[in-house]
Structure 1
Amino acid sequence: MENYIIKTLAYNKQVRVLFVDNTNMVKEICNKDNMNKLLKSTLGKTVSIACLISGILKRQQRISLKVNTSHPKSKIFADTDSMGNIRGYLSDHLLNSPLNGKRHVTIEQLIGNKGYIQVIKDLGMNSIFTGITDMPYGNIENDFSHYFNQSEQTPTYIKLNIIFDKNNDIILSRGIFVQLLPGASIHLMDQVKQIISENQFVLTNAESIEIVKERLLHLFEDSMFMESGAVQFLCGCSKEMFYGMLFSLSKEDLLDSVQKSNQIETVCNICGGKYYFSPLEIRNMLKSY
């Protein structure tokens, strides 16, 4: 299992503890030529949180995450369903921002003092919930913990770790998600935080899922393994989705492609998938232009 999530309960079923190793997924999503270390880290953390949240969803539920920076056009997106299908991407403005070419800019500086989190939860049966909170920490992981504490009144702690090599390529991505269940003492959260702080190796050592599961069960009192499962990058794009993009071109440009027998190439800005439209397909499309 290349990317996986482990679900456990601890402290006599009072605490939910989820662990994710999504290294290969984050590499696939973030290791692109047009992203510097700052953007890779920002997107990687948001994707990791989506992976962890997938572990608390049920049936057909979906959650979409949006990190809004102080600049209204610079945003980070991620979404997930209960099956662990994950997407994540940056707005074009953020990819083309001057910050993308600068070194020594922090995530806090990127988010700025007016950043906020927006969470859209699709619970099924036409039930949509939207929550919005500010970002007082400017580091994403603590800000999403803040979201759960404020918007959903659920004490939550998230700890993420993304490791880069000397070429600023991601080589490890892991995270832990802790929530107190109804009736649990708030003091349990302090114990869990202390244990995680003293056992950082869980987030830094590249080990097999079986070893990680064993380590997790030994960290917290009364730990109980619930299940493990896969998380995977799934864009969901298709050629049909790009027909609308062709209609954004002028009729003259489309006619020119037909007359010159040139195909048109479209590229998904989420997964990089390429879709081609032949002169015949363009000609048929022009009939309804």
Structure 2
Amino acid sequence: METKKDRLVRGTALEGRVRAFAVRTTELVDELRRRHDTYPVATAALGRTVTAAAMMGAMLKGEEELAIAVKGNGPVGRINAEANASGEVRGYVQNPHVHLPSNSLGKLDVAGAVGTEGFIDVIKDLGLKEPYRGSIPIVSGELGEDFTYYFAVSEQTPAAVGLGVLVEPDNSVRVAGGFIIQLLPGLTDSEITEIEHALGTLPSVTALLDQGLEPEDMLRQLLPDAVMMDELEIAFSCSCSREKVEQTLVSLGQQEMERLIEEDEQTEVVCHYCNETYIFNRDELQVILNQAKS
């Protein structure tokens, strides 16, 4: 299958009374799989979370960014994702090496991996003094339903969220993507019923992407009169750097840094988000400590 670039489209329908987002995140999710060596069910759980983050990031403006933490009671542990308004996304899962049998539908058991109890926290940095925080209990662990619930409860916007990741037998990601349909004020009952019917009969996100459909085709299957407003490239991006790691080391305090210099030939710091390893030898740590003191 030819590789298509990850991209997100934004659109509206029913004269602006519906706001819609659809995205392909195949390359992003496969990049995270490679970096974190995730097993299929962990790939699916992480992939669905970062796909939701990519679309929620596209709802932001300028320098705004958001962080999502899925804290379920399942074996994958915590899932973290971050995204911004420019389409840059990163994420990781606490326990990447989780293997579970398929669920009753013969699919990857994402709910079993995530857990059906716990919370999903969304923190948005909107450039204000305090970030916006929303938190909801996990309702299914499948994540699409959970984010649907998040929009209804935390953002008071009825929405439908579809998320999907299809993993190949060799563990690579065949397709990944999703959609968010937000129902705005002014819709009639019959219009809402029509949208609900379209959602109920829509094939899975992965089936649509696997057929070669583009994100805008996915939206038109749900909303025949959808008008595309703009699009955004989606890509993995990590903001870690050697300088930031140095700041983290300084924040450990003088005593801890002196202990590292004394006990270890070299110190390794690994970024959770991208698995990049930063190595500092004793001399480098001493220089960092001396600069922090001065």
Matches of 1:81 and 1:33 in 2, distance apart? Answer: 21
In 1: Cα distance, 2:133 partner to 2:140 partner: 21
Report the TM-score, using the length of structure 1 for normalisation.
0.83
Structure-1 residue corresponding to 2:209: 203
Q: How does 1:85-164 map to 2 (within 5 A)?
A: 85-91=88-94, 94-95=95-96, 100-104=98-102, 106-164=109-167
Question: Displacement, 1:272?
Answer: 1.9
Q: What CA distance in whole angstroms lies between the structure 1 residues aligned with 2:221 and 2:125?
A: 35
SS of equivalent to 2:162: strand
Tell me the amino acid that sits aligned with residue 31 of structure 1.
R
State the partner residue of 1:251.
Answer: 258
Corresponding residue to 2:43 among 28, 31, 40: 40
* Equivalent position of 1:192 in the other structure: 195
In 2, distance between residues paired with 1:144 and 1:40?
Answer: 18
CA contact (8 A) 1:11 1:221 kept: no
In 2: Cα distance, 1:43 partner to 1:7 partner: 23
Alignment CA distance shift 1:118-1:188 (3 Å): farther
Q: Is the 8 A contact 1:65 1:77 kept in 2?
A: yes
Matched, 1:275 2:278: yes
1:182 and 2:185 matched: yes
Contact 1:22 1:231 in 2 (8 A): yes
* Matched position secondary structure for 1:242: helix
Q: For residue 90 of structure 1, report the CA deviation from its aligned partner.
A: 1.8
Aligned counterparts of 1:139 and 1:67: Cα–Cα separation in 2: 11
Equivalent AA in structure 2 for residue 116 of structure 1? F
In the TM superposition, residue 145 of structure 1 has moved relative to its aligned partner by 0.3
Residue 240 of structure 1, CA deviation: 1.9
Q: How do 1:17-36 and structure 2 match up within 5 A?
A: 17-32=20-35, 34-36=37-39
SS in 1 for 2:156: coil
Q: Distance in 2 between matches of 1:216 and 1:10?
A: 10
Moved over 6 A (4+): none
Aligned counterparts of 1:187 and 1:204: Cα–Cα separation in 2 = 31
Distance 1:82 1:21 in 2: 16
3-state DSSP class of the match of 1:13?
A: coil
TM-score by length of 2: 0.82
Q: Count how many residue pairs are aligned between Structure 1 and Structure 2.
A: 277
Cα deviation for residue 30 of structure 1 reads: 2.3
**C-alpha displacement of 1:263:** 4.8
Equivalent in 276, 287, 294 of residue 284 of structure 1: 287
**In 1, distance between residues paired with 2:217 and 2:99?**
42
Q: Is the 8 A contact 1:23 1:171 kept in 2?
A: yes
Q: Residues 186 and 54 (structure 1 numbering): CA distance in 2 closer, same or farther, change over 3 Å?
A: farther
Is the 8 Å Cα contact of residues 159 and 183 (structure 2) preserved in structure 1? Answer: yes
1:12 aligns with 2:15: yes
CA contact (8 A) 2:42 2:76 kept: no
Give the Å deviation of 1:82.
1.3
Alignment identity in percent? Answer: 25
Unaligned runs of 5+ in 2: 104-108
Query: 1:198-237 alignment to 2 at 5 Å?
Result: 198-200=201-203, 202-207=208-213, 209=214, 212-213=215-216, 216-217=219-220, 220-237=223-240
Check the 8 A contact 1:68/1:117 in 2, yes or no. yes
Deviation track 1:146-165 (CA, whole Å, cap 9, x = no partner) reads 11112221010011221111
Letter in 1 for 2:6: N
CA RMSD of aligned residues (A): 2.9
Q: Is the 8 A contact 1:118 1:130 kept in 2?
A: yes
- The correspondence for 2:61, drawn from 42, 47, 58, is 58
1:26 Cα offset (Å): 0.8
Contact 1:12 1:223 (8 Å CA) reproduced = no
Name the CA distance, whole Å, in 1 between partners of 2:19 and 2:162. 14
Q: 1:118·1:131 contact (CA, 8 Å) conserved in 2?
A: yes
